[in-house]
Structure 1
């Protein structure tokens, strides 16, 4: 049977209140008493209950992180940055998979509320009214990553998706490509769908190319299977293109794999460019040229902002992170 705080108090010959003050780093005891209690804790193997401790000092040393998909490399790299800083601050991370349509978001917000987490980071998810209401009732810091809310005042960390998409397509045009298809997200998605499509179209117009909706393949998600299906659609339509720009690395890799299986050489016959710069981009053969988001740094920054708000109670400014083109092997120079 596990030792209790009462057992520790008896072993050290002090009151339960004294043990509680020492555990929670409160004043009111001598160094000798503190050492006696710490020796008793070690001798008995006592593990303070984090939730009970949190009820006393309003700090459970846990934060919640919500992802629409936790298994992809995008989530892995963002989470690495979050965990790195959280661990430095002595906190643990509870990861929640809300599903791509957000069907479990409200449920997990309730779970995190019951666990009295110290703050919440939400990644790549649109903030609905019911989410914001639940977040507001919790009265804890919250930060968005790779997302933005125009309706609600939640600080965020992200790249400028429209600008990043513009940079990617402008890079392809600079290599001589003018017939460029886009594998995009949902056309109504305000987070990663609409801005990236707008950047694609703006880059074409800036270079004297009139964009066509027929050159945009919309997907429900950003995963490998969506990219495979998108490339199948491109081939079924017999589209006259020299390059494909995909809204995620996984979409790009899915498109590449389908093309290569059907005898299309990348980049000799078709150039492919991704978005994110996950480790998957480097692992591919040929390695994927992509527009990079600093995913690890975005996670690290979000956690830093969250803990700064937790300690100061002050409003934190949102951060736009820099993107860059990672030139590898999947784009052919036509000039």
Structure 2
């Protein structure tokens, strides 16, 4: 039997309004009454209706999350972290898949507005003026996750892509490599493209290693296929390359696939380091050395930040989380 708030009030011999005030943390009742009502709620297994509760306190206890894609370990770990934070605060998560499409993103923002979400986490995309202005009209807090905006005053949670790419390149240099190439995503991508390219170039520069266009292959994305064909281009334009920094783990594994097809041994003939530390990085042959982004921690941090902003109505400070190098078997010291 599904009990209602009316049943709880009747059993406790109090008004429905009193039960409602207790459920919503308001005042106007004694500790004895509160104890009695909560005991009856537990005995009955009563579950307050979120919509009804929202009508009282103007909160739906839901947050909206927009992802440009829904496949891959990256999204899984980010979402696990967000849901962990939301659950700890008694909130739920509505996930929207935008496919990096402006029209679809606006459609989902409209939907989240109609669902009266209490806040938004916007991931892995550029925050446009159109999105920002609509969210301002919604009048809810927003946190950027795995992205940032140089234009709008929105707090974010991410790693420093420039520093992480610098670390990956320096790792190869410290292993004795000087003929180093990079397979990159688009240099027009201000989130994960250009910062990683600049980190790569700066590491070479700081260690007095020359750089020219032959050191880098720029692709349109960060997936397996981009790494596979990016490796073909790298071998063609820089045949003396001994180590490669790939801008994602999927690209790194695609590069390893091409190396295998050409009879090139990883890491004996060529070393490869990836970026992200998704699950398949440890399953590749050989297991992939990579830069780790703490995705679950990032998601949880963004969730807590948003929930804090929802409670305080204060803008939170952005957070840069630490990356690290996970050493496996795809990089060999050059003698």
TM-score of the two chains, using structure 1 as the length reference? 0.89
Tell me if 1:276 matches 2:287. Answer: no
CA change 1:207–1:2 in 2 (3 A) is same
CA change 1:285–1:5 in 2 (3 A) is same
- Structure 1 position 135, deviation (Å): 1.6
Matches of 2:178 and 2:70, distance apart in 1: 36
Matches of 2:246 and 2:285, distance apart in 1: 17
Matches of 2:67 and 2:56, distance apart in 1: 30
The aligned counterpart of 2:307 is 307
8 Å CA contact 1:102, 1:125 repeated in 2: no
Tell me if 1:91 matches 2:87. Answer: no
- Structure 1 position 101, deviation (Å): 4.7
The aligned counterpart of 1:217 is 217
8 Å CA contact 2:214, 2:237 repeated in 1: no
Across the aligned residues of Structure 1 and Structure 2, the Cα RMSD in angstroms comes to: 2.6
Matches of 1:248 and 1:37, distance apart in 2: 51
Counting only pairs closer than 5 Å after superposition, residues 1-335 of structure 1 correspond to structure 2 as: 5=5, 15-29=15-29, 31-32=32-33, 35=36, 39=40, 43=44, 47-101=47-101, 104-235=104-235, 237=237, 239-335=239-335
CA change 1:239–1:58 in 2 (3 A) is farther
8 Å CA contact 1:143, 1:302 repeated in 2: yes
Matches of 1:102 and 1:287, distance apart in 2: 37
Count of residues paired in the alignment: 334
- Structure 1 position 261, deviation (Å): 3.2
User: Which runs of 5 or more residues in structure 2 are unaligned?
Assistant: none
8 Å CA contact 2:215, 2:238 repeated in 1: no
Question: SS in structure 1 opposite 2:211?
Answer: coil
- Structure 1 position 162, deviation (Å): 1.0
- Structure 1 position 3, deviation (Å): 6.1
Matches of 1:100 and 1:167, distance apart in 2: 29
